[in-house]
Structures are given as structure tokens and as C-alpha cells.
Amino acid sequence: MTMPRDVIRADVLSLTSYPVPNSVGFIKLDAMENPYTLPWPLQEQLGERLARVALNRYPLPRPSLLLDKLKYTMQVPDDCDILLGNGSDELINLIATACAKSGAKILAPVPSFVMYSISAVLAHVEFIGVPLNVDFTLDVAAMLEAITAYQPSVIYLSYPNNPTGTLFDDADIEQIVRTANRSLVVIDEAYQLFAQRTWMSRTNEFDNVVVMRTVSKLGLAGIRLGYLVGLPDWIREFDKVRPPYNINVLTQSTVDFMLDHLNVLEAQAAKSRAERERLAEAISLLSGAHVFPSSANFLLVRVSDADMVFEALLSAWILIKNMSKMHPLLGECVRITIGTPDENARLLTVLKSIQL
Ligand SMILES: *Cc1c(COP(=O)(O)O)cnc(C)c1O
């Protein structure tokens, strides 16, 4: 009799699946989704568009009209290319696969986005985590030292950083990019619309910088589309490890449509930015809560008992993310995605009713 443990890699056996809690019926403030749906007329137009998509055909592997439109809309430098991924999660995996030379290392500040280390483990690449300062700014000296010591193939900088919300300093990033002249620096701009800062226009200024974006946090998490922007020499190599039909026809058609209506998503992001400021202020007035500055669509909040706060919200049908076991620097921290004004008001009511 064959058992999975006879066949499956030992390190895979010891992993746990990425936890996605059942959220049916909950106010969902755990996954940085845009809380707003598309307005009805757009839903209807998109429906008509999608009804005509040729589902019997494989998608175009390099949809050049869509790529050109994305390039133009997102102000990608002329001499850069784009690689599409089934979410940026897939791009992160492609990068790990393509860079998995024997002895290769992937480096990122910690705590940061978990996929950087998960993708490394799966590709048999060692992951080097460099702790942030206690205020979640970059420990530049430690970063530079680790880069020199480990010579990583890839360095990830989440800009702004998930789960802390910190927008790393541009001069610090530049120093890392210049020191890491044997590494590829991936600037992950998943929260670009909430930070309103970007390295996009500088992608071609350095030969070792690529910028990664996703439409997930903009309001299109369900369609799974990420994109990587960089000089053609980089994009060409990563394209070789991409599954041939990784972006399905419905996603391609939806993105094509939404690029014509980006103003709707931008207006929703502007609402979330305003709500972020309002909510940050309101929570920081509650005694026992410390709100860290955030440039994303979530707030990292330190309380005295994160498990208790998580459970109290859960009983009130509000789902947030308890970060307190993820990394020592995140002790007693919870991450709260910005919801609609109504959802945020209900969150605040519960927070006011308990001892933070
Ligand atoms: C959410 C997130 C992603 C993943 O985005 P997908 O496109 O949904 O896979 C990537 N990077 C960071 C920092 C994120 O927070």
C-alpha cells in the first residue's frame, strides 16, 4: 500500500496549507479585499462582454493588445516588458523556480508577505528573513550586512509592507538596490493605490529592479491577476517558467474591460484611504490600542490580548487576522482590513465594548 508519506517530500509533509477561514456570513476584514462591488451598470456591461468570450478556446499566452493597454494605463516605462501571473502569488512562485540554483537564497525583511518564504521553501531555496526595526521601519544596516553576507539571488521589498502597513523609505530602498548589485530586487506594490507611491518609473533606471503589482487589492481579487514589470532580459527568463495558459479568458476579458473603468476602482480606493485615516484615529483614541501608521488598506493594531480581541470580534461576526503568532515583532498585533463606513462603524462598536 502506498502512503502519501512514501511519496511526498518531507518538507511538504511538514507544511500546513495556507489557512483560509470560512467567512460565510461574516463582515470580512481579514484579507485586504476592496469592500465595494462594481456599480450595477458596469456589472451588466461586463456580463454582456463576458457572455461573448470564446470559452472553447485556450487563452492567448501573450495577449499583446491587453499587455499594451496595461502598459499604457499603468505608465510602464517604454523599454520595459510585462509578465502576467495568476495573481502575484504565481509570479512569486515563478521567480523562486527560475532562481532556484543550487545554494541560491531569497531574502526579505520580516515580518513581511508569507509567500516570499513559502515559495522559497517549495523551490528548495533558502529563505533569509531580516527582522525589521521594532517600529517596522527597515533595519538598513542589517539588510546591507545580510546582503553582503548571503549574496541572495532575490530580495523582496513589499512597498508598502504587508502585514505592517509601513511604507519603506525610498532612500533606504535605493541603498539596498545599489548594494545588492548581484541580486534581483522585487518591489511588490500590491497596495500601490493606497500608498500612492511607486517605483514603476524607476524600473529601467537600475538593471536589478522589477516591480510587481496585482489587481487583487484594487477590487478584483476574484479574477487572479498579477503583473511583473521589468527590463526585457528579466521578463524573458521568467516567462519561460510560466505555465502556458496561466491567465484564463474570463480574467483577460475582465481586465481589458476594467482598464477602461479604472476611475471606479480609484474612487473606491480613495474612499478606503479616507476611511483608513478615520478608523486609525478612532481606534488610537481607545485606551490599550496602538495603531501603527499604514499606507495600505489595513491597519496593524497592537492590543493587550490579541486572542481575546480576535474572539470578541468573531462572536460579533467580524473576521480580522490575528498576527500575534506570526513573528515575535508582531506580539499581540491584529490586522484589520478597512471596510465600508458601515462595517468600520460596527467594528468600532465592538472594540469600544471590550477591554483593549
Ligand atoms: C495580497 C498580496 C499579494 C498577493 O496578491 P495576489 O495577486 O492576490 O496573489 C502580493 N504581495 C503582497 C504584499 C500582498 O499583500
pLDDT in tens, 297-311: 999 999 999 999 999
The residue-averaged pLDDT of 119-144 equals 97
What does the pLDDT read at residue 61?
83
Q: What is the pLDDT of residues 64-81, one digit of tens each?
A: 999 999 999 999 999 999
Provide the whole-model pTM: 0.96
Does position 223 have pLDDT exceeding 80, yes or no? yes
Does position 19 have pLDDT exceeding 90, yes or no? no
pLDDT band, residue 235 (cuts 50/70/90): very high
What does the pLDDT read at residue 151?
98
Residue among 210, 218, 171 nearest 192 (CA): 218
The residue-averaged pLDDT of 280-309 equals 97
Q: Please indicate whether residue 190, judged by its CB atom, sits closer than 6 Å to ligand 1.
A: yes
Q: What is the pLDDT of residues 313-337, one digit of tens each?
A: 999 999 999 999 999 999 999 999 9
Does position 95 have pLDDT exceeding 90, yes or no? yes
CA distance 28 to 318: 6
pLDDT band, residue 228 (cuts 50/70/90): very high
Does position 144 have pLDDT exceeding 90, yes or no? yes
Q: Which residues pair with 193 in a beta bridge?
A: none
In this structure, whether the domain defined by 4-40+263-353 belongs to CATH 3.90.1150.10 is answered with: yes
Q: Is 23 left (phi over 0), alpha (psi -120 to 50) or beta?
A: alpha
- Sequence ranges of the domains in the chain: 4-40+263-353, 57-261
How remote is the CA of residue 354 from the centroid of ligand 1, in Å?
Answer: 32
CA distance 225 to 214: 6
Q: Which residues neighbour 142 within 8 Å (Cβ) at sequence distance 6 or greater? A: 130, 131
How remote is the CA of residue 31 from the centroid of ligand 1, in Å?
Answer: 10
Does position 18 have pLDDT exceeding 80, yes or no? no
pLDDT band, residue 57 (cuts 50/70/90): very high
> Is residue 144 a contact partner of residue 176, using CB atoms and an 8 Å limit?
yes
Residue nearest to atom 15 of ligand 1 (CA): 162
Which CATH architecture describes the domain 57-261?
3-Layer(aba) Sandwich (3.40)
Residue among 345, 325, 187, 139 nearest 335 (CA): 325
Does position 59 have pLDDT exceeding 80, yes or no? yes
How remote is the CA of residue 350 from the centroid of ligand 1, in Å?
Answer: 29
What does the pLDDT read at residue 21?
81
Q: Which of 33, 89, 91, 186 to mutate to test the pocket of ligand 1 (most atoms within 8 A of CB)?
A: 89
> Is residue 156 a contact partner of residue 113, using CB atoms and an 8 Å limit?
yes
pLDDT band, residue 354 (cuts 50/70/90): very high
> Is residue 208 a contact partner of residue 184, using CB atoms and an 8 Å limit?
yes
Burial zone of 354 (CB within 10 Å; 0-12 exposed, 13-18 middle, 19+ buried): middle
CA distance 130 to 156: 11
Could you count the other beta carbons within 10 Å of the beta carbon of residue 98? 19
